[in-house]
Copies of this chain bind each other. A is one copy, B any other.
Amino acid sequence: MERIRLGMVGGGEGAFIGEVHRMASRLDDRYILCAGALCSNAKRSASSASKIGIPKERSYSNYQEMVTAEANLDEGIEVVAIVTPNHLHYPIAKEFLASGIHVICDKPMTIDAREARELIDLAKASNLMLAVTYNYSGYPMIRHARKMIELGELGKIRVVHTEYTQDWLTNPIENSGHKQAHWRVDPEKSGIGGCIGDIGSHAYHLSCFVTQLEAIALCADLSSFVEGRKLDDNAHIMIRYAGNAKGMIWSSQVAPGNGNNLKIQIYGDKGGLVWQQEQPNELIFTPTNKATRTLLRGSDSLSVNASALSRIPIGHPEGYIEGFANLYREIADILLIYRSGKTPISEEILFPTGQDGLDGVTFIEAAVKSNNKDSIWVNL
Contact = CB atoms under 8 A, between A and B. Distances in A.
Contact of A319 (B159, B256, B260, B322): B322
Contact of A52 (B29, B225, B278): B29
Contacts of A158: 223, 225, 234, 254
Interface residues of A, number: 92
A365 interface: no
Interface string A222-254: 010100000000101010100010111010101
Nearest to A33: B29
Given A256-B288, A319-B319, A322-B319, A20 B267 contact: no
Interface string A10-48: 000000100110110011110000000000000000000
A272 interface: yes
Given A27-B27, A159-B225, A292-B293, 8 more contacts: A159-B255, A168-B313, A221-B246, A248-B248, A256-B289, A257-B284, A259-B298, A279-B279
28 contacts: A1-B52, A26-B27, A29-B53, A159-B255, A167-B288, A168-B313, A170-B289, A171-B269, A171-B288, A223-B246, A234-B246, A236-B246, A236-B247, A248-B248, A254-B269, A256-B270, A256-B271, A258-B272, A258-B315, A259-B314, A285-B291, A289-B300, A290-B301, A291-B299, A292-B293, A317-B317, A321-B322, A375-B375
